[in-house]
Amino acid sequence: MENNINRRQFIATATKAGISIAAASAAAYLLYDKKGPPAKPKAHDLVTFPDYSVPKITGQTISIVKGDDRTKSVDKAIDLLGGIERFVKPGDNVIIKPNAAFATSPALAATTNPQLIARVVRLCYDRGQAAKVYVTDNPINDPASCFTLSGIAKAATAAGAKLILPKENLFRNTTLAGAKLIKNWPVLYKPFEKADKLIAIAPVKDHHRSGASMTMKNFYGLLGGRRNIFHQDIHTIIAELSMMIKPTLVILDGTVSMISNGPTGGSFDDLKNTNTLIASCDMVAADSFGAQLLDLKVSDLPYLEKAQNAGVGTTDYNSLKPKFATVT
Amino acid sequence: MKIVTVRKISQVFFFTLFIWFCVVSTIGDKFFQIRNWPVNWFLQLDPLTAIATILTTHTLYWPLLWALATIVLTVIVGRFFCSWLCPFGSIHHFTGFLANRKKSNAKKIKLNKYRKAQSIKYIILVVFLAMAAFPSIASTLQTGLLDPIPLVTRSVNLLLLPILDSSVNFLSVTQRLYQGAWLFFIVFLTAILLNLIIPRFYCRFICPLGALFAITSRFAIWRIGKTKDECSNCKLCEKACEGGCEPASEIKISECVLCFNCRADCKDDLVKYQTMPSLAGQVTNPDISRRGFTISLASGILAVPAVRLSAKITTNWTHNIIRPPGALDEKRFLNRCIKCGQCMRICPTNVIQPAGFQGGLENLWTPVLNNRIGSSGCQYNCVACGQICPTSAIRPITLEEKQGTGKFKNKGPLKIGTAFLDRNRCLPWAMDKPCIVCQENCPLSPKAIYTQTVFNTIRDGVLTVKKSTKNTIETQETSMTADSFTTGDFYCAAKNGEKAKITANNENTIEISTENNFKIPRKGEKIYVQIRLQKPYIDIEKCTGCGVCQHECPVSGKRAVRVSAEGETRSDNRKLLLKT
Amino acid sequence: MSKDSRPKTAEAVISFAILIILTLIAAAVLRLQANPDISRFGIEDPADSPKATESFDLTSLAPKNFKPIAKTKIYTDDNLYEKINGKAPLYTEAGFKKLHSQQFIHSTDDTAIIDIYLYHMTNAKSAFAVFSQQRRPNSKPITFQHQIFGYKTTNGVYFIKAQYYIEVVISVASDNALTDVINIGKKLFKKIPQTKLTHFEEIALFPNGNLNTKTITYSIDDPFGFGILSNTFTAEYQIDGQTMLAFISKQQTPEQAVKIVQNYKQFLLENDAIKINPSLFDLDGMFEAVHAEGKFAIGIHAAENKNHADTVAKKLIEKVKSHGK
């Protein structure tokens, strides 16, 4: 009797012991690593931005509007290219990429003008019948402060857009094929993943390192990580950014240009009323024209040539037969 | 032969083997040097290291497969490791015995009774494993702080051996030094002295490895037990009980360390090692409540993010945490380093040092290079640290990989940091004194330090010629110190910049060398006493951060050339240059 | 039941088994270390260093009854002093690249050790520099094929081939031992590739009469410590028991040769030498002659006799002059 109990107990214990040993051995076998860790951690899954561009229409690639009222200028500029309906289809999710780099007042024109953003948001909703418009950027200063102080947050939300702050979990790594610099680098990707169209709106600004910050340089705001390392080769990175992303439309706001002490400015003396607004499907052409507003030549901005050589666009904007207009 | 005697032989054997492995951990091929001694064997047998690294890395690094043998054996026979193999356990066993041998049996029995506090070790274990287990939040390997094998390894290697060897210098030519070794001393001494209060204090209350064995020995097929429920209840079986597991009454199987003293001490031969449970009853489960478990699990899980709030491994990283060549990037490194100190022991120059708290809490006792200690910087022809690292926190790189030759030619040499020149402290830069010690000692070819020659007029070095001959100039001033310009570094320059080396001088005359057709200035003209300086520059593209320059820099306090971790190959986000 | 009835058989068997396991562990550990290979650590085995790309296996040169003590070791600038100590600068200053070193020991007589030193120098001239600067007195010339720069002593052979300077020495002095050593030298000589013959034009420019050819020496820098000459061959002349050194220092251009001669003269004058004629000086009772001829700065150093110095100097000038034609 007692023996029986003992035997049963022994079998139970031995079975448990056997299972433990088997489990430990199986785990060891499955997890066994003969090679040791690699020199670098496993690369992240890489992403690529969708292509947001719309089909070309000859003669309707770039428009240049003179005037001191941004709202009127942007209406006109977009109309000259075929209207917002050409770019935004009903039900589209549109993402707007302003330059919100600094936590400064909109009056200083270091960031994209909030009224201009609001106007484009409304155009998307009212005439383009967009489903949703988002506004996002990865600024240099603290993101929340940048959006608030630049007035972009208030204006965009009032117009019905949703503001997306660049949270860490929205970044993914990307590699641009054939690139020298953008290799396995984190970019602000998640907000763009689901968008159908991308409209980028940038001010015309003097930029100490690169010469000028316009629509192409605006996409620096997509980069995450310790991106300032790229300032060691600024022209290449700007050209690569223009290769990395294909926006639907870029709007270059030269109504007021920052002609000195860029890209931060800080004084009204740094600003000049240049009364020009450009809408373009070709950002190289837009920036090539914009350079004039800063009294620069195309050759002063090597990134333009680099982008042109990469097939992003043309520096010879006249070849695109720009549409000109003046609004009052 | 009695099993207790065999147990003692085993303890002496493994303890001696362990000490021998510590002794031979010096580079060299003599029998008392590293050769092929399996000096990591005890660390490899340690299942806590294996399990914790599995939790952090989701792999079992092959040398740690030994731990499976320990686990399997423990599952079958119980916690044999603690009383038969563990060198730290043997130290406690022996000191506990020494401390209490003169006490009465009654007192001994009282000392060895089970205490509720013995469950603390489970809490420690759970906290450590929880810290390791949750990668989605953050994981870190901190078992090495209290895991007895790394603890005793570093205590012997980095504390006891350097002290013992200091008078004979048998193990090393120069005294081995380890920064913050006092902390090893305090931990080690405290652990030992606690045996005066309760024998095997560390094993019973603290040891996380013991706790792990306690859990794995639950289903042990053989176990200690009484063959009769009733006995004379003399409790002599508990007089030398190493585990404090109370074999006289309901035995706590998880606390039993298989010392077999109970079996030897039972007058009536009622205590047996058997497959049957004790007739006096047994408790197999470790004594930790669900509540205690949950709380320690939660604290462990939250502790890591709490520590990581300091951002010490991301943006707020510490520039002087220079890791040995081959170290993984910081995150993966902290998932593997068990703080055993083997790299610090083997390093031929003694430049690898245990970190203190400067790099954050997690960094304690992990390897960092300190170029002010030791006999040189990181040697160009050495990869010993990676070859010895038991967990591959420092990868076992080859010389080819380190130097960027052979099949690693495209990758270039491995950088562990970058040397920065402090021009405010550098003798030629800041003080106009000739010195290119750093340049001379740079082990690379071509050198990462180069110089540019300049001539600077020294203080009070503008003089007026009183009289001059072919190679001597007498000055109006009599302010020179005799023979002070004869080092070969001083030149006499004329107004037009032409100069000649000064070969001798006294208070008011200068003799110059005539090799350069220097036109001797005439009476009334000004001459300039100049010093020839070779100012060092660092070629950031070439510098590997080995620290030899910093080690040699004659500015002995805060060195004028210092290595900082920027640019280290292992972290992409600490790049200095946009390398394309 | 008395305690003495234990140990029981089972206990004894288990005890015994455990002791056997411990013994096996000890045996395994001992076996593992018995094959020391520390090359994986990198540091103490420069033979594995990538610097030493060109490699000679010297172990196969062991004569009968000799065996290698260890595998061939390679030394570089960094550790040459470990092998040859204070002699290292002699080599490093002359353009040392690396040293292959091999030792053989006699199988029965452990006092008989053969040392092979194969110095890889920058070029033939730097090999000749270290060869000539430490030529042993009382040595006899030796030839392998057409090689002329070699000699033997009672226990070793020393020679150059191409950019290599080779020493093979044995620790015992006997005819057999010397034969072994010479044979190794011959084999090595064959083994070393040579693309063109070693030839130094300067050596042929020393006038023959009274020339001690064994003393022809080459220095990359100034052999006399004046800090003036460079690329200099010297040779000792002995006339009536009085000695002098003739020197030939070839420069890049004739202008440089003139400049060197000027500096030499100036140096002599600065050191209170007395000018006897434009190219002959008396420096503290020793005579110095110096002259520029084409690209060559030539002369006589430390002559004990003024007339002898003058004679040899004239011959030297004449020979160099005719060489230019």
On the question of pLDDT at A192 being above 80, the answer is yes
Count the neighbouring beta carbons within 10 Å of the beta carbon of residue B566: 18
SS3 state of residue B224: strand
C153-202 pLDDT tens trace: 888 999 988 788 999 999 888 888 888 998 898 888 877 766 555 678 88
> Is A136 or C59 the better-scoring residue by pLDDT?
A136
pLDDT of residue B326: 95
Give the total residue count for chain A: 328
Instruction: Give dist(CA C304, CA B483) in Å, integer.
Output: 36
Which residues in chain B are closer than 8 Å to A20, comparing Cβ atoms?
75, 216, 219
CA separation (Å) from A300 to A210, A240, A288, A289, A303? Answer: 9, 18, 10, 12, 9
B interface test, pick of C23, C25, C32, C40 with most B CB neighbours within 10 Å: C40
Q: What is the ipTM of this complex?
A: 0.88
At residue C188, φ and ψ (nearest 5 deg) are -60, -40
Give me the residue spans of the domains in chain C: 46-191, 201-324
Instruction: Give dist(CA B382, CA C43) in Å, integer.
Output: 4
Closest residue on chain A to B574 (Cα): A226
Instruction: Give dist(CA B507, CA B515) in Å, integer.
Output: 24
Q: How far is B58 from chain A (nearest CA, A)?
A: 7
Instruction: Give dist(CA B171, CA B154) in Å, integer.
Output: 16
Give me the residue spans of the domains in chain B: 42-149+192-283, 330-409, 451-534
pLDDT of residue C146: 59
Show which residues on chain A lie within 8 Å of chain B, measured between beta carbons. 6, 9-10, 13-14, 16-17, 20-21, 24-25, 27-28, 31-34, 36-37, 39-41, 180-181, 225-226, 229-230, 232-233
For chain C, report the end-to-end CA distance as a whole number of angstroms.
120
Q: Does B402 touch chain C (CB under 8 A)?
A: yes
User: Contact C187/C203 with Cβ under 8 angstroms?
Assistant: no
Instruction: Give dist(CA C129, CA A76) in Å, integer.
Output: 87
Instruction: Give dist(CA B256, CA A308) in Å, integer.
Output: 78
CB pair distance less than 8 Å for C270 and B28: no
Closest residue on chain C to B517 (Cα): C263
User: Contact C14/B3 with Cβ under 8 angstroms?
Assistant: yes
Place of tokens 């094993």: B203
Q: How far is A27 from chain B (nearest CA, A)?
A: 9
Place of tokens 């080859």: B398
CB pair distance less than 8 Å for B396 and A233: no
Q: How far is B409 from chain A (nearest CA, A)?
A: 15
Residues in CB range of A323: below 8 A, 6 or more apart: A59, A60, A62, A63, A64, A80, A81
CB pair distance less than 8 Å for B275 and A36: no
pLDDT of residue B428: 95
Per DSSP, helices labelled H in A207-260 are 234-244
Looking from the CA of A53 toward its CB, the CA atoms found within 13 Å total 16
Residue C258 burial (10 A CB sphere; 0-12, 13-18, 19+)? middle
Q: How far is B294 from chain C (nearest CA, A)?
A: 41
Instruction: Give dist(CA B402, CA C48) in Å, integer.
Output: 13
Amino acid (one-letter) located at A304: L
Q: What is the pLDDT along chain B (580 residues), one digit of tens a residue?
A: 889 999 999 999 999 999 999 999 998 878 888 888 999 999 999 999 999 999 999 999 999 999 999 999 999 999 999 999 999 999 999 999 999 999 999 999 999 999 999 999 999 999 999 999 876 667 899 999 999 999 999 999 999 999 998 888 888 878 899 999 999 999 999 999 999 999 999 999 999 999 999 999 988 889 899 988 888 889 999 999 999 999 998 899 999 999 999 999 998 889 989 888 888 888 888 888 889 899 999 988 888 888 888 888 888 999 999 999 999 999 999 999 999 999 999 999 999 999 999 888 899 999 999 999 988 999 988 999 999 999 999 999 998 899 888 788 888 899 999 999 999 999 999 999 999 889 888 888 788 999 999 999 999 999 999 998 888 999 999 988 988 898 888 999 998 888 898 988 999 999 988 776 788 888 899 999 999 999 999 999 999 999 999 999 999 999 999 999 999 999 988 888 876 4
User: Contact C282/C291 with Cβ under 8 angstroms?
Assistant: no
Q: How far is B271 from chain A (nearest CA, A)?
A: 17
Q: Count of CB contacts below 8 A, B vs C?
A: 104
Question: Are B and C neighbours with ≥3 CB pairs closer than 8 A?
Answer: yes
The CATH classification number of B451-534 equals 2.40.10
Which residues in chain C are closer than 8 Å to B546, comparing Cβ atoms?
none
Count the neighbouring beta carbons within 10 Å of the beta carbon of residue B289: 10
Q: Does B578 touch chain C (CB under 8 A)?
A: no
Instruction: Give dist(CA C37, CA B364) in Å, integer.
Output: 33
Nearest to B537 by CA among B442, B458, B402, B443: B442
CB pair distance less than 8 Å for A16 and B61: no
Instruction: Give the tokens for residue A261.
Output: 């002490």
CB pair distance less than 8 Å for B221 and A17: yes
Instruction: Give the tokens for residue C298.
Output: 């030539």
Taking each helix axis from N to C terminus, what angle separates B3-23 and B87-100, rounded to the nearest 10 degrees?
120
User: Contact A93/A134 with Cβ under 8 angstroms?
Assistant: yes
Closest residue on chain A to B67 (Cα): A28
Instruction: Give dist(CA C70, CA B486) in Å, integer.
Output: 50
Closest residue on chain B to A234 (Cα): B578
Closest residue on chain B to C269 (Cα): B514
Show which residues on chain C lie within 8 Å of chain B, measured between beta carbons. 1, 3, 6-7, 11-12, 14-16, 18-19, 22, 25-26, 29, 32-38, 40-44, 46, 48-50, 78, 263, 266, 270
C interface test, pick of B27, B399, B441 with most C CB neighbours within 10 Å: B399
SS3 state of residue A16: helix
Residue of C15, C25, C40 with shortest CB distance to B1: C15
Instruction: Give dist(CA A243, CA A222) in Å, integer.
Output: 13
Instruction: Give the tokens for residue C139.
Output: 């040595």
Per DSSP, helices labelled H in B370-519 are 384-388, 399-403, 437-441
CB pair distance less than 8 Å for B578 and A233: yes
Task: Classify domain B330-409 at the CATH topology level.
Answer: Alpha-Beta Plaits (3.30.70)
Helix (H) or strand (E) holding B193: helix B181-193
Pairing of strands C296-303, C242-250: antiparallel
CB pair distance less than 8 Å for B1 and C38: no
User: Contact A143/A153 with Cβ under 8 angstroms?
Assistant: no
- What's the gap between Cα B106 and its chain centre? 45
Residue of B13, B31, B381 with shortest CB distance to C42: B381
Residue of C14, C41, C263 with shortest CB distance to B387: C41
Closest residue on chain C to B37 (Cα): C33
Closest residue on chain A to B315 (Cα): A226
CB pair distance less than 8 Å for B332 and A37: yes
Q: Does B553 touch chain C (CB under 8 A)?
A: no
User: Contact C206/C216 with Cβ under 8 angstroms?
Assistant: yes
Instruction: Give dist(CA C225, CA C246) in Å, integer.
Output: 15
On the question of pLDDT at A276 being above 60, the answer is yes
Instruction: Give dist(CA A281, CA A60) in Å, integer.
Output: 9
CB pair distance less than 8 Å for B1 and C1: no
CB pair distance less than 8 Å for C33 and B37: yes
Residue of A10, A20, A39 with shortest CB distance to B75: A20
Which residues in chain B are closer than 8 Å to C16, comparing Cβ atoms?
1
CA separation (Å) from B128 to A251, B61, B322? Answer: 55, 19, 26
Instruction: Write out the CATH class of domain C201-324.
Output: alpha beta
Closest residue on chain C to B383 (Cα): C41
Neighbours of chain B (3+ CB pairs under 8 A): A, C
CA separation (Å) from A45 to A41, A186, B146? Answer: 12, 11, 37
Residue of A6, A31, A229 with shortest CB distance to B578: A229
Q: Does B513 touch chain C (CB under 8 A)?
A: no
Q: Does B376 touch chain C (CB under 8 A)?
A: no
Question: DSSP labels for B262-279?
Answer: HHHH-TT--EEEESSPPT
Closest residue on chain B to A43 (Cα): B572
**Secondary structure string (H, E, C) spanning chain C:** CCHHHCCCHHHHHHHHHHHHHHHHHHHHHHHHHCCCCCHHHCCCCHHHCCCCCCCCCCHHHCCCCEEECCCCEEEECCCHHHHHHHHHHHHHCCCEEEEEEEEEEECCCCCCEEEEEEEEECCHHHHHHHHHHCCCCCCEECCCCCCCCEEECCCEEEEEECCEEEEEEECCCCHHHHHHHHHHHHHHHHHCCCCCCCCCHHHHHCCCCCEEEEEEEEECCCCCCCCCCCCEEEEEEEECCEEEEEEEEECCCHHHHHHHHHHHHHHHHHCCCEEEECCEEEECCEEEEEEEECCEEEEEEEECCHHHHHHHHHHHHHHHHHHHC
Question: Are C and A neighbours with ≥3 CB pairs closer than 8 A?
Answer: no
Q: Count of CB contacts below 8 A, A vs B?
A: 88
CA separation (Å) from C242 to B189, C302, C306? Answer: 80, 10, 10
Which residues in chain B are closer than 8 Å to A33, comparing Cβ atoms?
57, 59-62
Q: For B406-559, where are the E strands, in sequence order?
A: 418-421, 449-468, 472-475, 490-493, 499-505, 509-512, 526-538
Instruction: Write out the CATH class of domain C46-191.
Output: alpha beta
Instruction: Give the tokens for residue B545.
Output: 């951060």
pTM, two decimal places: 0.73
Q: Does B2 touch chain C (CB under 8 A)?
A: yes
Nearest to A252 by CA among A100, A136, A98, A115: A98
Nearest to B18 by CA among B86, B97, B96, B79: B86
Domains, chain A, in order of start with CATH, read: 47-326 (3.40.50)
Instruction: Give the tokens for residue B373.
Output: 């200690």
CA separation (Å) from C198 to B301, B415, C121, C274? Answer: 76, 44, 14, 40
Show which residues on chain B lie within 8 Å of chain A, measured between beta carbons. 54, 57-62, 65, 68, 71-72, 75-76, 216, 218-221, 275-277, 328-329, 331-332, 336, 392, 395-396, 570, 572-573, 575, 577-578, 580
Place of tokens 């040993």: A21
Instruction: Give dist(CA C201, CA C319) in Å, integer.
Output: 12
The angle subtended at Cα A322 by Cα A316 and Cα A323, nearest 5°, is: 170
Amino acid (one-letter) located at A273: N
Determine which of A124-128, C85-89, C255-259 has the lowest per-residue pLDDT on average.
C85-89
SS3 state of residue B472: strand
